Every structure is written in C-alpha cells, then in structure tokens.
Structure 1
C-alpha cells in the first residue's frame, strides 16, 4: 500500500478515529491528552467517538480538535477540513429544525415588524421636518426676498419732490388777452363793481393775498387794493382763562391716589391717610386712579357729588375719568 492510499483512507475515516489512532501510535492515554489540553477525560472520549453534541459549541470543538491534532503530530488544517465535512450534515439538520420551529418564525415576524416600524418612524420624522421647514423657514425666506426686491421697485416708481420735472409743476394761468381788454372797457365805462371781489372770495384764494394785477395800459392808472372777504367771520376770543376742573376726595383710611389732567401732568400722586382730604384742579378731563376704593368717603367734582359705584372696581382698585 502506497502513501497516497494511506492518506486517502485516513481522509475517509472520521476525525475522532484519526485522532485516536495517532494517540495510540504515540503511546499516549486519554488522561494524558486531557491533562495536556486541560480538559476532562469525557470531552476527549466524546471527540474520539464522534459524539460532538457533548461539546458546547462548534467553535470550542474546533479548538479542542486542533490542539489534539497538534499534540499527536497530525496536520491540524487537514483535520479541521475533514471536521467541516463531517459537521455539514449536522448543520443542515439544525437549520431545518430552526426553520420548523414556530418560535423562530414568530421571532422572524417580530424582527420584520420592528424594521417596518423603524422605517415608518423615519419617514414620519422626515415629513415632520419638511412641514416645519415649509411653515417657518420658507415664509421668512420669501419675506426676505420680497424686502430685498421692494426698494428696487419703489425706487423706480417714486421720486423726491425736488426731482419732479418742471412740466409737472402747476403754474397760474396767464391772463387772457381778451379778458384784459374786457376789464379795460369795463373800467372805462365805470361799472367795475364789487362782483369780482365776491367771486374771488368764493374761490380758494385767501382774501389778504389777492392783489389786482396792474393793467398794461397807457390810459388806466394802476390800482392795488385788498379785498375784504364777504363771508369773513369775526375772530373768536376767549372771554376768560382756560376752564379748570376742581376735584375733592375725602378718605377714611390709607389709600394711594393719582390724578392727572388732560395734558398728562400729574396733579397728585401720594398716599392719603384716614381723615385726609385731597383737593386738586387742572385742565379736564381728569384721570383718577384710586388704590383702595373702600377707604374713599366722598368724591366731589366741580362742586357736585360723584358716586364711585358708577365706575368699574377690580380688586378694590378703580380707574375713571371725570370731565365737564
């Protein structure tokens, strides 16, 4: 028998049997192998008998077999390759059992649902971010563009008053030559009466600014006169000084009070005690703020009694305005 035939026969043998024969050739016992590998004797015997189910996992099995092969002088890589071939049917059987296990199917469905839920949450987050951008960012961006374009548009349409063309300035019409001739004829005939003055007053021209233009004539003298308005009203004069409102408030306890006149000037802003009487006068209407309505005894304005119950009261505080 040649060496090739012996190698072929060895390859066809189980890995455990190959290790056992190599151990016996070395004259080693199971206990010696177990001590060298720091294993139990039962683990070494399980490997030699091909009872791989006694090993916790395939990873540990390959580690034990590799160390065993090196100890008995065998090629560790070749032994591991044979072990993979030997373990392949067990792997397929285990995969089938997992596929047939209903718990595995349930777990697979749970994983699928988790993936779908994660995708849905990611999509919802993207939609929410897009909505926020549309609601808050886009209006500001659009408004910024509108503000940037507005000066250019308004600059074309509007011009300052100083830049108005001369043609747009309205000037008084020049007197018509025919009307000048008629005025000359009427002046010569002596019936230029106060009718033109009434017409001037009825217009938009102010009375004191109306000046009769001199007629260009060698025979008619130039006359300038001020026309009094026909409907002028006499000026209104104040017979007496500005009207002043007199306010008098009597207190039965501590109360903060503030009184201001129509111009916003504060006539009083102080804390009144029990028995005090505040008397102020100023331009009406008078704005009154009372901090403790319950401490007010009487209020008199222009000599007449004022009922504070006629005004709104909130938290014993009232604000009201008195006018003549």
Structure 2
C-alpha cells in the first residue's frame, strides 16, 4: 500500500470505508478477504458498508473487524471503537464492541464476562429441566406400579424361593492309577 493510499484509508470517516479502501489498495477482492477470514462475502460487504447488524452478534463482529484489519494492515484497536459508535445496542445487554479484551471475551459494562454475568437475559432451559425431571419421576413411579401389579414385585410378602434346591448326584470315579 502506497503512502497516499494508506493516508487516504486512515482519513476515511467511516470504518467500513477505511477497510474497503485498504482492501482495494492491496488489490484484494471481497471474496479474497472472506476466504481468509472464513466468513461469507455478504458479511464482508456488511462490514464495508458499516451495517454491523447484518454481521451478527457484536462479539463476532469485533473478531471479524480485527481479522479484516490484520489482513489489510490497519490498526484494529482504532477501528473497533469506531464501529462501536455505529452499533446501537439495547441498554439491557449493555455490551459494547470496545470492551472486547485481548482474549476475545466480550465484557459487560460491569466488567464481568458476558457469558457469566448475572441477569444476562432470561434463563433458558430452566423450564425444560423441570419438565425433564418431572417426566423422569413419573416414569419411575409408573414402572414401580407396573411391577407391583404384574406380580414381579410384592410390597407385602417376602420373596419366596421359586425353585427348591436339589443337590446334584455325585458320581464316584473309579480309582485308576494314572499313567506316568
């Protein structure tokens, strides 16, 4: 990338435009960049047109921006905060792209990792867990009742021997000297 092209890419106002100008200066196509980042061409186009909502969750968008910037030689640490200004996130999630740390974890405004924060959305799977537990208990009770009714299990009587023990007859073996 020549100095004038690099300066032009750095002075572009929108971060997507900076990425596009840097890519074009390197004579790379959107398909080339998409192949290197391993995302669809549509997502590369969305990044270049500053439509972050089409890219996916903010954590993924930050990773794509970082990888794209690395490919075209732009500083990702400058681009991510610029994209942050373009993203309108609800106050509920309170997640910002600028709070993606070096390890790639998104952090909430409280500083805790997003995946482990308290009150981060509705707890999914809880009703499903209770339904599964209820079905398991009902199955155990049903099997127990079936065994009692079919006679396989008696709650009042002690188990009786079903077959009387009869010792096997012992056959005596003639004593023959064993050949040596």
Q: Which TM-score band (shorter chain)?
A: 0.3 to 0.5
TM-score of the aligned structures, taking structure 2 as reference length = 0.44
More strand by share: 1
Structure showing greater radius of gyration is 1
TM-score of the aligned structures, taking structure 1 as reference length = 0.25
Larger RCO (CA within 8 A; separation ≥ 6):
2
